[in-house]
Structure 1
Amino acid sequence: MLSRKLFATLFLLFLATPVCYAGESSNPDPTPETVTEEEQEESEFSWQAMIGLSAVYDPSLLEGVDQQDALDYLNLALLLDVSYKGFFIQSNHRRADGLLDGTSHGAEFGYRIEANDKQELDIIFKNYIGGFEPSELIDKKDKNIPTLEGLDDRLPGHGVAFRYSRFNEDQMYSLDLARLSMEGEESGWLIEGFYSYFIPYRNWDIYYGGVLTYYSSSIVDYFYGVDKDEVTSARALYQADGGFRAQLEVVVQYPISKSWSFNGAVTQSFYSDSFTDSPLVDRTGTTQIMLGVLYVF
């Protein structure tokens, strides 16, 4: 009888005793570590700087503007990725222009409104279209370009956009709705959809991408239209409508060492008639090829 009572008492004590697994503390109420404000700010701040040097074949859509000198085929870019409490500066490493343009045109400044593993909502500021100065292009090419002679400068098209991104394993989708400002009161809007599919192959990172962008008539007309005061014998009056640009590209990256990596990209761009009908343009599309190296600090 006594042995049964002793067994029952030991059994109840066993059930009431907490079980400690390997790596767990036997203290049932451990005191949490105190996190200082400085440590919390450090955990919210991250940065990475990169310098890229590449050889680029990048023909212009403009008539008469071709690559000639060796320097025309070389590109030096500074890529900077910084984030702090939702604010960020980033380069799109999935796209060729993000690796080429760096902080000049490829960088995106923004604020992350909402983010999780599946989707993001950001507000961003970036240059969507590079501008050009006809007089400087003529001087640089050291030749007469009748379609550009006497043409007014086109300033870069920068703007603020809302971007929605969705992630699905190795795939990424994003949609930008942007309002662009050019010169003075000139403004317009665009919608840009981007799709990227990531395929790892041995040590290679391969990104297949597609971009479809619609530009409002005011944007296309500002860059490729010809006003009344710009008409010459080589340049007829032209008022452009809204138009599309479609792009297909492949971006590859291969680690050479801890700090160095090889980068390559091929981008094929197609333009709608509102672009190609312009007297400033003599191509229906462009092919861009990039081969280079990237150094990570």
Structure 2
Amino acid sequence: MKKIIIILFSLLLCFSFSTQASEDEYEDDGFLWQLSLGGFWVDLALPELEGAQSDFDGISLLVDAKIQYKRFYLNTHSGDFFGGSDLGYQLILEDDWGVDAIYGNYQLPFSEEGYYGSEGYVPELSGIKRRKQDQSIGLSYYRTLGDYQAVAELVYDAFGDTNGWVLHLEATRNFELRNWDLWLNFGANYYSANFIDYFYGVDADEATSRRPVYELGDSVSVFTQVQANYPIAEDWVFSAGASIIIGASNTKKSPLVNSRHARAVFAGVKYVF
């Protein structure tokens, strides 16, 4: 019952952005879509887990998708590597502002086998419980402020195990420079103590002589992302970008991690349908 009350309370309070229909393909039945698919070189550095691989690079398939049916939508962006809302429903849609109900993930999962479970046994992480990805829902408020699209999201991990919430703030600007289409995004996250402690805290049953019990309070992170797109042929676009997120100092003090930042750099070519 307590969880249900918190979910309902969050849905009344929290606030993200919707896609502009004029940018998408439109059909009379209310279905909107825009899709691009490409091969990219990606250099990804995640917060450094104790003893585990945290740097990854190679060729990856990345997708940009905007799919909307009436008020329901799915958004993905190739420059987003660190979570956020992708699914939503437009509750209120005005000329320069709106409110959506949203679902998303705001923290990366990991276990005693590292981030992706492909390393096998990591001695330094042996004995820790699996940190499952959050499954957060909430509300998003978005408004146009001059050349920027401002967003405030408040979400609660309703279907995950953290019993915590996240406040996500961001501003985005798109602009053109000659033939380049540029995308700039920056913002901050505020994590409740329960949410961030689930991932980076150490419980008594996980503690060892080299891994003491550790409890985080609430925490924050800041981030910025930039992406540039350049048309190289009909339906083909060169795309490159970078993202960085920096967490609070209490994250780095956790016995589980050796850094509090993550970054991503990518470049490649995509086909726009």
Q: TM-score range by the shorter chain?
A: 0.7 to 0.9
Q: In percent, how many aligned pairs have the same letter? A: 28
Q: Where do 5+ consecutive residues of structure 2 fail to align?
A: 1-25
Task: Please tell me the root mean square deviation across aligned C-alpha atoms, in Å.
Answer: 2.5
Q: After alignment, is 170-179 or 196-205 more displaced?
A: 196-205
| Equivalent position amino acid for 1:279 in 2 | P
Asked whether 1:188 is paired with 2:164, we answer yes
Q: How does 1:235-274 map to 2 (within 5 A)?
A: 235-274=211-250
Structure with the greater alpha carbon radius of gyration: 1
Please give the per-residue CA displacement for 1:162-207, whole angstroms capped at 9, x wherever unaligned. 11111135311000011114645x3211111001222310111112
2:94 aligns with one of 99, 111, 116: 116
Q: Answer yes or no: is 1:126 the counterpart of 2:111.
A: no
**Equivalent residue, structure 2, for 1:290:** 266
**Structure with larger RCO (C-alpha < 8 A, sep 6+):** 2
Give the match's secondary structure for 2:105.
strand
Q: Is this contact kept in 1: 2:44–2:55, CA < 8 A? A: no
Paired residues of 1:135 and 1:150 also in contact (CA < 8 A)? no
Instruction: Name the residue aligned to 1:44.
Output: 30
Aligned partner of 2:135 among 141, 154, 158: 158
Query: What is the 5 A alignment of 1:193-212?
Result: 193-212=169-188
Greater helix content: 1
In 2, Cα distance between the equivalents of 1:267 and 1:68? 14
**Corresponding position: 1:227 with 2:203:** yes
State yes or no: 1:66 paired with 2:53.
yes
Deviates more, 1:164-173 or 1:270-279: 164-173
Aligned-partner residue type, residue 38 of structure 2: G
Aligned length: 247
The amino acid across from 1:189 in the alignment is W
1:177 to 133, 138, 154: 154
CA 1:285–1:253: 2 relative to 1, 3 Å: same
Residue 33 of structure 1 corresponds to which residue in structure 2? Answer: none
| Amino acid of the structure 2 residue aligned with 1:170 | D
Task: Quote how far apart the aligned CAs of 1:273 are.
Answer: 2.0
Cα offset, 1:230, TM superposition:
0.7
> Larger strand proportion, structure 1 or 2?
2
Residue of structure 2 in register with 1:26 after alignment: none
Where do 5+ consecutive residues of structure 1 fail to align?
1-39
